[in-house]
Chain A
Amino acid sequence: MSAVAAETAPGTRSRRRRLTERARDERRLAALLVAPAAIVMIAVTAYPIIDAVVLSLQRADLRFPGATKFVGFSNYGHVLSAPVWWQDVFHTAIITAISVAIEFGVGMALALVMYRTIVARGLTRAVVLIPYGIVAVVAAESWQLAWSLNSGWIPKLLGLSGDPLSHTFGTYVAIIVTEVWKNTPFMALLLLAGLALVSDELLEAAKVDGANAWQRFTRITIPLMKPAILVALLFRTLDAFRIFDTIYIFNQGAQGTESLSILNYKTLLDRLNLGLGSSVSMLLFVLVALIAFVFIKGFGASAAPGAEAVS
């Protein structure tokens, strides 16, 4: 390790010495050109995040402006010792796991259909993409109405006598169906890009060697698509874990469907408890970062699938 450092250090120094005046000017210009974007990024992302960190260490409640004080990590203690936090982690994990799994299965099927369709290819792709183009809140509202006992077609179709949205199980099914319906096209699109990486010659060669369709799919297509699959799963898992709109429209977290984002919203915006709410935000941020870390380090996902596909 140290040997490598010793070797590279003089190299960089000599390279720096070799910089011409022109190169230095170009670098300065580059820095100037990047600066506005960097400053905006810092203003709109770094500042709020730092502010949230600071708030999470305070007793800060809009309703008690005089009582603001530094409390260290006690907000985090309150959150992590509250049963509702762990319940909501569980609710969120269930919704994420089930909906991403279904989206992956259905999305793969749709991607294959879109890829292999010979006739009306444009039309097929457009139709598949429709749910993704519908505004999330509108989609959630329509599904909520569809599942309502009094106004909806689903209870009638299934011949239900009870109200599915009155019970935990029915509400989970309804919320997951909405999520799957809305997000599968996105999954399919990402997988379609992955399918394009699989060369037809390889599949032909496998066919000649006697591999059947299933073997070709599992032994050739899937391994070659792996980078694209991991990116698709990463994106959708991160998205699903922050689920808010569908649940907010359905019932604001009643019937045991409260997700972490709903909990965060209630603490920050209903209760105006900025300290406690910010610590919920930070913990949610940590969980999301953890998911990304596991995908990237554990499974080797990369944000640029093309780069790995070459190797």
Chain B
Amino acid sequence: MFCPSTRPVRFRVLGGYSLAAAAALLLCAGCGASGKGPATLNWYVFPEPSGSFARAAAACTAASAGRYRIAINFLSTSSDQQRVSLVRRLAADDSSIDILAMDVDWTAEFANAKWIRPVPTALSAQIRSVDLPGPVQTATYRQRIWAAPINSNTQLLWYRKDLLADIHRRVPTTWAQMIADAIELAKLGKPHYIEEQGAQYEGLTVWFNSLVDSAGGQIISGANRVVLGRAAEAAASIMHRLATSGAADPSLNVAMEGSSDVAFDRGTAAFEINYPFVYQSAIAANPRVAKEMGYAAYPEAVSGVDPHVSIGGYNLAVSAHSAHPGLAFNALSCLTRKQYEIAYAVKGGLAPVRAAVYGIASFQKAYPFHALIERQLRTYGIRPQTPSYADVTLAIQKALTPTSAIQPATVVDSLRNEIRLSLSSGALL
């Protein structure tokens, strides 16, 4: 069927153009919820290579009994580019987006700008009851649920068992211990680098925020007030300590998730802080490293205190300009069903958000580090939930790079001023 748009065509066209528009209107008589055919719901989402999103979209279309058809549209791979593409359309009141996959740190911004609709009460209650607390919190802004979590993500510690055996040490549980172990390995002339993400980009904010939360602090409070106290100073000290210790990879200043992974697979590193995708990629890239690869919980910033690791992942929201919000919310609840979440995790490696999935035997087999992930999604940390998140993260990235030049005593004060200014739209960062 010819359906150029799900919205009725507006007659703001000139001359001969209106003829074409009228023809389109006639052809399109069957489109939309009121017509006979299914409404098209455009789902904009990051490119999911395993095809499990596309299969779920097809299955949900079939299950809707002809009420809607989900058309999947892939955005760029980079999360920044996804945001720019979505925002350009949403800010222009474009009705061509019905469902959008938001990175977990966009919720406050999109909700505040009224680009997305709050989730109806029944679906909100369901999300709160079945999903893990971390993912639920990422979809929450001002006590309301704005999106349905579809997948989560959390960083773990990956290490080389053989190298730890060489120095007769157990898996480090704190940052201090991990850095000490790496220095020990360096003395023996063994591979010893700690792979972290120190480039000036979002990964650095994740590192800093994880450490601040784990040290018992906060960057911004729920009331949009800048906190950044002693915990931030402790976090900055750990980053500086790693960068200047000799345990750091010489490429720390340009390291992102992908390059950290490549470096670990090459065998020059003893430790790596990264997302679970690195496990599969090590098996493919260097089986010898993969054989010795162990995994453990994210190291503690303060000994004996559970870390609060900043979680990642995506939430599905319904555009405020969608012509079919009711159907779109139906589709949302279908796309986040348990059986599809298992497929997203097993086929595509995406961490599930539903607590129940973590108890399924077949899932546990395909996802050996499931217990650690579930635990970290319960003790989660979260990046600042503010509409000005883009400003806050930019201020953090600029203030804390290069990590070797951080001055923990003064950086927190200057960062606090920058973030305060940025919350008023007036700061050039």
Contacts and interface: CB of A to CB of B under 8 A. Distances in A.
Interface stretch (B184-192, B250-258, B322-330): B250-258
Nearest to A271: B390
Interface in B100-131: 109, 112-114
Interface stretch (B46-54, B291-299, B421-429): B421-429
Contacts of B390: 63, 270-272
Interface in B186-205: 199-201
Interface in B351-407: 387-388, 390-391, 394, 398, 401-402
B388 A63 contact: yes
Contact of B401 (A59, A161, A254): A254
B226 interface: no
Contacts of B427: 78, 82
B87 interface: yes
A166 B250 contact: yes
A63 B387 contact: yes
Given A251-B199, A251-B200, A252-B200, A276 B426 contact: yes
A166 B115 CA distance: 39
Given A161-B250, A251-B199, A270-B394, A62 B428 contact: no
B413 interface: no
Contacts of B19: none
B281 to A, nearest CB: 15
Nearest to A88: B428
Contacts of A148: 251, 254
A86 to B, nearest CB: 10
Nearest to B428: A82
A61 interface: yes
Nearest to B84: A269
A161 B428 CA distance: 36
A200 B425 CA distance: 63
Contact of B402 (A78, A162, A166): A166
B429 A271 contact: yes
Contacts, number: 95
A267 interface: yes
B387 A84 contact: no
Range, interface on chain B? 20 to 34
B320 to A, nearest CB: 11
A62 B388 CA distance: 11
Given A63-B387, A253-B200, A273 B253 contact: no
Given A85-B428, A254-B200, A162 B112 contact: no
B91 interface: yes
Contact of B253 (A74, A78, A85, A163): A163
A59 B425 contact: yes
From B263, B398, B429, residue with most partner A Cβ within 10 Å: B429
A117 interface: no
A176 interface: no
B391 A64 contact: no
Contacts of A161: 250
A103 to B, nearest CB: 26
A150 B262 CA distance: 9
A251 B252 CA distance: 13
Interface string A255-295: 10000000100110111110110001000000000000000
Contact of A166 (B114, B201, B252, B262): B252
Interface in B234-290: 250-254, 259, 262-263, 266
Nearest to B391: A271
A10 interface: no
A149 interface: yes
Nearest to B404: A166
Contact of B394 (A63, A74, A79, A266): A266
A62 B114 contact: no
Contacts of A74: 426
A162 B252 CA distance: 11
Contacts of A162: 250
A65 interface: yes
A271 B428 CA distance: 10
A150 B266 contact: yes
Nearest to B388: A63
B113 A163 contact: no
A65 B200 CA distance: 29
A251 B397 CA distance: 12
Contacts of B391: 271, 273
A291 to B, nearest CB: 22
Contacts of A61: 425
A165 interface: yes
When A and B form their complex, which 9 residue pairs have the shortest distance between CB atoms, in order from nearest? A254-B200, A82-B428, A166-B253, A163-B251, A62-B91, A163-B250, A271-B390, A61-B425, A63-B113
29 contacts: A61-B425, A63-B112, A63-B387, A63-B388, A63-B390, A74-B426, A78-B426, A84-B398, A148-B254, A149-B251, A150-B263, A150-B266, A163-B253, A166-B250, A166-B402, A167-B253, A251-B200, A252-B201, A254-B200, A254-B201, A254-B254, A254-B401, A255-B401, A255-B402, A266-B394, A267-B428, A270-B80, A271-B390, A271-B394
Interface of B: 80, 84, 87, 91, 109, 112-114, 199-201, 250-254, 259, 262-263, 266, 387-388, 390-391, 394, 398, 401-402, 425-429
